[in-house]
């Protein structure tokens, strides 16, 4: 075997691990604050409600800057941008731990967000360009495991660190992981570049404005008393989306070409991601909230209740390829979405006197089917993209996922607040949670029909050969 072949083999072995490191940091950081906000607020002399800005600033920065990731990778190389993003994310984490007030923390979270907005999309882009299509599913399968573990470990790790160390450690934990990613990236990350790059600054600003306005409107939608300004922001977001459509239609080199949506598998994957994640993304927030608010249990207890989701998610990864090979993407995604929606509905059955352990088997089974859902949706979305479409398509997919997660969390809270203010709950907050799970579950079941637009043969070129 030649030296070049040996190097390529080493890259293929290590690259999924490098991407997994980046995804783990980003997903852990997106959730670890949830159980830590009261402690941070107390230390910074702020109200816990005002501390939501520390979460919102990070999520919005991810969504706003992700569209530039493809261009920057093509212009400067995947290796340089990926390492730069890890350095920026690690520095942002250090600044967060040193924050003396809420303003410092929000600015530090923005720095973190810029790093996070680049490292995962650029890492995925390197993976897509390194592996052949018949190898890509296995590589993506490995790299995406931290995306399933991070949201589960986040609240648990955050609770323990606040109780036994201090809140500063929820940010400092990122630094050794970031250093590991940098060292591996310097040696094994390929530096793919493109000579033909032309950044659509106008399109980027229009799309960023649309993402920002839609995200802010959904974060504020829970304020029922001031619905008019929120609706105006929401409508403005859609107007900017339409403005972007007109801009991209005029030609040139738009940041997200409209011809991406002529690829049916990409179109269905994008819409399916957005629709199904509305329900899936709300569960990791709603269930711990219910356990703490309605059942009066600690944050650590709520973290342990949902921990089985991580173990079954890993277990599910070993079956997803076999399932897709046997049933195909269309049938797998439709049935899998129906199952997930049904499991979310089942969370509404226990009353306030039911043991908390009733939730454990439901959450465990949910983790298994979530892992199948995420891998299947991500891979079918890029199945038929051509080489010149991979950068923009991969970037748009990442933006869509981030917005879908944010929309899902906001949507779950909106539904919860609506039920909280009705007579249906008989003054019991637990009933509001039950009705919310029922509503979100039914909508998730209905979202499964999006995947009817897939053909039975779609994704055959993505199937991995058995070793």
Give 330-375 pLDDT, tens digit per residue.
888 888 999 999 999 998 888 777 788 888 899 889 988 988 888 8
Q: Which of 179, 195, 211 is the last residue of a domain?
A: 195
Q: Is the domain of 440 the same as that of 453? A: yes
Give whichever of 297-301, 303-307, 331-335, 396-400 has the largest mean pLDDT: 331-335
Q: Is the domain of 185 the same as that of 271? A: no
Q: Which of 195, 221, 237 is the last residue of a domain?
A: 195
Q: Is the domain of 133 the same as that of 81? A: yes
The token pair at 418 is 């609506």
Q: Is the domain of 190 the same as that of 205? A: no
Q: Is the domain of 335 the same as that of 447? A: yes
Q: Which of 236, 254, 272 is the last residue of a domain?
A: 254
* pLDDT tens for each residue of 107-137: 898 899 889 888 877 877 777 777 766 666 6
pLDDT at 343 (0 to 100)? 93
User: Measured in whole angstroms, how far is the alpha carbon of residue 149 from the centre of its chain?
Assistant: 12
Q: Is the domain of 351 the same as that of 418? A: yes
User: Measured in whole angstroms, how far is the alpha carbon of residue 56 from the centre of its chain?
Assistant: 14
Q: Is the domain of 91 the same as that of 131? A: yes
Average model confidence (pLDDT) across the chain: 78
Radius of gyration of the chain (CA): 21
φ/ψ region of 386 (left if φ > 0, alpha if ψ in -120 to 50, else beta) reads beta
Range of the domain at 26: 1-195
CA distance 448 to 249: 30
Distances (CA, A) of 291 to 237, 312, 419: 35, 21, 17
Q: Is the domain of 106 the same as that of 235? A: no
CA distance 206 to 237: 10
CA distance 7 to 310: 33
pTM surpassing 0.85? no
Q: Is the domain of 267 the same as that of 167? A: no
CATH of the domain at 348: 1.20.1250.20
CB 351 within 8 A of CB 430: yes
CA distance 467 to 464: 9
Q: Is the domain of 315 the same as that of 443? A: yes
* pLDDT tens for each residue of 259-290: 777 778 888 888 888 888 888 888 877 887 78
* Number of domains present in the structure of the chain: 3
Give whichever of 81-85, 230-234, 258-262, 353-357 has the largest mean pLDDT: 81-85
H/E stretch holding 59: helix 52-65
Q: Is the domain of 235 the same as that of 342? A: no
Q: Is the domain of 105 the same as that of 233? A: no
């Amino acid at each position: 075997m030649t030296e070049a072949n040996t190097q390529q083999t080493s890259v293929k072995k290590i690259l999924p691990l490098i991407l997994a490191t980046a995804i783990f940091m980003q997903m852990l950081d997106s959730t670890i604050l949830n159980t830590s906000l009261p402690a941070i607020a107390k230390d910074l002399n702020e109200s816990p409600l005002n501390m939501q800005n520390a979460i919102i600033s990070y999520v919005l920065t991810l969504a706003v800057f992700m569209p530039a990731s493809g261009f920057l990778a093509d212009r400067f190389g995947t290796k340089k941008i990926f390492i730069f993003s890890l350095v920026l994310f690690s520095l942002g984490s250090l600044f967060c731990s040193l924050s003396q007030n809420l303003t410092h923390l929000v600015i530090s979270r923005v720095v973190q967000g810029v790093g996070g907005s680049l490292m995962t999309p650029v890492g995925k882009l390197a993976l897509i360009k390194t592996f052949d299509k018949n190898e890509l599913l296995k590589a993506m399968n490995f790299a995406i495991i931290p995306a399933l573990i991070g949201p589960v470990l986040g609240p648990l790790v955050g609770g323990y660190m606040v109780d036994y160390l201090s809140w500063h450690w929820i940010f400092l934990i990122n630094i050794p992981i970031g250093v590991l990613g940098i060292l591996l990236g310097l040696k094994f990350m390929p530096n793919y570049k493109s000579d033909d790059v032309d950044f659509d600054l106008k399109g980027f600003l229009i799309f960023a404005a649309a993402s920002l306005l839609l995200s802010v409107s959904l974060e504020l939608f829970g304020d029922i008393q001031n619905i008019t300004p929120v609706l105006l922001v929401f409508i403005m977001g859609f107007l900017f989306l339409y403005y972007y459509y007109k801009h991209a239609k005029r030609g040139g080199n738009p940041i997200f070409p409209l011809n991406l949506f002529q690829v049916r598998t990409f179109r269905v994957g994008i819409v399916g991601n957005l629709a199904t994640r509305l329900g899936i993304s709300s569960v990791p927030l709603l269930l711990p909230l219910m356990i703490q608010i309605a059942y009066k249990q600690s944050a650590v207890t709520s973290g342990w209740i949902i921990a089985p989701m991580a173990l079954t998610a890993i277990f599910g990864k070993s079956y997803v390829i076999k399932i897709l090979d046997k049933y195909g993407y269309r049938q797998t995604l439709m049935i899998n979405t129906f199952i997930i929606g049904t499991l979310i509905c089942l969370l509404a059955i226990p009353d306030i006197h039911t043991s908390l352990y009733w939730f454990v088997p439901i959450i465990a089974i949910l983790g298994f089917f979530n892992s199948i859902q995420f891998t299947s949706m991500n891979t079918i979305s890029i199945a038929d993209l051509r080489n010149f479409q991979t950068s923009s398509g991969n970037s748009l997919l990442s933006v869509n996922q981030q917005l879908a997660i944010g929309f899902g969390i906001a949507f779950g809270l909106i539904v919860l607040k609506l039920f909280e203010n009705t007579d249906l709950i008989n003054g019991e907050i637990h009933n509001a949670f039950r009705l919310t799970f029922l509503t979100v579950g039914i909508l998730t079941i209905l979202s499964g029909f999006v995947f009817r637009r897939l053909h039975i043969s779609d994704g055959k070129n993505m199937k991995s050969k058995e070793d």
